């Protein structure tokens, strides 16, 4: 169960499991105020606030050649960006871009760039599967819907780490070690993962920080011909958007940051906060489950339901159950990941009940399917590069949460207090950046984006992946932040059924009128 520091919208997390349509448990943080991603970056940053450096002008002046994507209504192109913004002469990376032109050319307002989160989520996949066809009709009429795969992700110079079979083994490693041997296997798995990334992706690894992706996003804005950026970022995409605003406050148009992160919190605190967030989400699920006639965890309060789930995890840790895949029985790690995947969206709760009931009856295929959707594993055993890019970005954005296993031991009580069900596993999962081959270039720091136009920050009160207090914190840090609150369940709020939220966001995007700060839905 490597679910540490992955944030994404529910629209992509359950896709492979057959639900509607980007995870681990705490997003990377470390903004433009953090250490430069390479020598001389700070100087580039200060210049970027007012003018485009001469060395970057050829990139901003490039022309995109649009072609048919093979998906009706969408066009694709490739944009070149510097591998290293401090040394543009060091070579290029290719950034894959897609768009769906505005459906009403007469009312066109420009481009609306969207990002689904991650880090590691494919913006193009999100655009084609959801945003480009599922955003409100009036928004799609007014804007060219645009997205890109951030550097290191999917079609954009992707980070690669493990083969499919090796990734299968990695996802099954016990992340609640009971003895020295299990602890050694867990540490070895993280080292093997990191070594695989270095062996297969050494050129790109030092250059996939969020600050690099934010610079790419400004390059995209310029190439698209927009004076200012209009943007909707979900989950980790809120950190990307806030980083952009900090770097380029004068180029901020209408920014919506939905399911917000708090960039001021270090990795350890982020991981622990998100552990508590999943506990909050599970409590909501448990209360609902106890009311349902098919609840496989029985009746009673949330504590009783939680105790039964914990006992189920203990049993499959000792004796995995068949899953229909002879090489991948359902053990504790995959079972936990499957449960966490379903907690992103309350619409997945019925599927979670059904999958838990089957697993308790000896059939782990349902929970395995949920886990596979989380890891973006295809039926043929191939994995998207989501988890590889996720680690690569997070491990650059901040120093690791823990220096080693002993530090995890010391933190276990606080994680288990945050979540009696998930705490131990999520604490050990937070060890994933400890053995990373590239030193972190960022660190936790508040982002203010002084001088930016109003930025709408959306928070959901029982969000499992981005706790509500993070939205409160980000809105408070941003000089022009406006907090919009959804009192509800699930990860993110825009486009998920609240007319109140959707109306407020649509009005802002279409008319430029931000909701009143503190508005609640």
Contact 5, 432 (CB under 8 A): yes
Listed in order, strand segments (DSSP E) in 74-169 are 75-82, 92-100, 110-115, 117-118, 143-148
Contact 388, 197 (CB under 8 A): yes
Contact 165, 159 (CB under 8 A): no
Q: What is the full DSSP assignment across 466-506?
A: S-HHHHHHHHHHSTTEEEEEEEEESS--TTTT-HHHHHHHH
Nearest alpha-carbon partner for 64 in 92, 112, 109, 97: 97
Region of 158 on the Ramachandran plot (φ > 0 left; ψ -120 to 50 alpha; else beta): beta
Cα–Cα distance measured from residue 294 to residue 487, given in angstroms and rounded to the nearest whole number: 27
Region of 362 on the Ramachandran plot (φ > 0 left; ψ -120 to 50 alpha; else beta): left
Nearest alpha-carbon partner for 139 in 514, 515, 507, 516: 507
What angle in degrees, to the nearest 10, is found between the helix axes of 210-224 and 41-48? Answer: 40
Count how many Cα atoms sit within 13 Å of the Cα of residue 147 in the half-sphere of its side chain. 26
Beta bridge partner(s), residue 321:
330
Tokens of 415: 């994680």
Which residues, 6+ apart, have CB-to-CB distance to 518 below 8 Å?
Answer: 483, 485
| Residue 150 CA: distances (Å) to CA of 1, 209, 231, 469 | 25, 10, 14, 27
DSSP summary character for residue 429: H
The catalytic residue positions are 235, 463, 491
Angle among Cα 330, 336, 340 to the nearest 5 degrees reads 130
Contact 423, 417 (CB under 8 A): yes
């Amino acid at each position: 169960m490597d679910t540490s520091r992955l944030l994404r919208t529910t629209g992509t997390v359950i896709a492979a499991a057959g639900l509607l349509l980007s995870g681990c448990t705490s997003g990377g943080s470390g903004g433009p105020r953090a250490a430069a991603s390479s020598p001389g970056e700070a100087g580039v940053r200060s210049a970027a606030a007012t003018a485009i450096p001469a060395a970057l002008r050829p990139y901003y002046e490039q022309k995109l050649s649009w072609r048919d994507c093979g998906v009706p209504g969408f066009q694709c192109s490739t944009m070149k960006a510097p591998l290293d913004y401090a040394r543009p002469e060091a070579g290029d990376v290719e950034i894959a871009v897609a768009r769906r032109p505005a459906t009403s050319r007469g009312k066109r307002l420009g481009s609306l760039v969207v990002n689904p989160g991650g880090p590691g989520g494919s913006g193009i996949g999100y655009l084609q599967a959801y945003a480009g066809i599922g955003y409100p009709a009036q928004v799609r009429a007014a804007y060219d819907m645009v997205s890109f795969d951030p550097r290191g992700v999917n079609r954009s110079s992707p980070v690669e780490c493990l083969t499919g079979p090796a990734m299968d083994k990695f996802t099954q490693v016990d992340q609640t070690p009971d003895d020295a041997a299990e602890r050694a296997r867990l540490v070895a798995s993280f080292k093997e993962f990191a070594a695989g990334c270095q062996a297969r992706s050494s050129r790109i690894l030092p250059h996939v920080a969020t600050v690099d992706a934010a610079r790419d996003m400004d390059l995209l804005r310029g190439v698209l011909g927009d004076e200012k950026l209009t943007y909707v970022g979900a989950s980790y995409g809120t950190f990307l958007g806030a980083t952009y605003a900090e770097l380029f406050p004068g180029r901020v148009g209408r920014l919506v940051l939905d399911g917000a992160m708090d960039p001021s919190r270090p990795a350890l605190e982020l991981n622990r906060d998100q552990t508590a967030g999943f506990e909050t989400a599970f409590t909501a699920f448990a209360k609902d489950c106890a009311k349902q006639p098919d609840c496989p965890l029985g009746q009673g309060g949330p504590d009783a339901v939680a105790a039964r789930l914990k006992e189920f995890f203990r049993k499959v840790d000792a004796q995995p159950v068949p899953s229909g895949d002879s090489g991948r029985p359902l053990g504790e790690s995959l079972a936990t990941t499957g449960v966490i995947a379903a907690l992103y969206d309350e619409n997945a709760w019925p599927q979670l009940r059904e999958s838990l009931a089957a697993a308790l009856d000896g059939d782990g295929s349902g929970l395995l399917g949920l886990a596979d959707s989380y890891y973006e594993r295809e039926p043929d055993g191939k994995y998207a590069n989501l988890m590889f890019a996720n680690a690569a970005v997070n491990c650059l954005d901040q120093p690791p949460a823990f220096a080693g296993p002993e530090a995890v031991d010391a933190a276990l009580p606080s994680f288990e207090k945050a979540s009696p069900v998930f705490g131990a596993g999520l604490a050990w999962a937070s060890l994933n950046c400890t053995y990373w081959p590239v030193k972190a270039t960022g660190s936790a720091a508040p982002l203010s984006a002084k001088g930016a136009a109003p930025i709408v920050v959306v928070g959901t009160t029982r969000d499992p992946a981005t706790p509500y207090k993070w939205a409160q914190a980000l809105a408070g840090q941003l000089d022009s932040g406006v907090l919009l609150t959804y009192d509800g369940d699930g990860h993110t709020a825009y486009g998920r059924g609240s007319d109140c939220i959707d109306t407020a966001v649509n009005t802002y995007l279409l008319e430029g009128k931000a909701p009143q700060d503190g508005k609640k839905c």
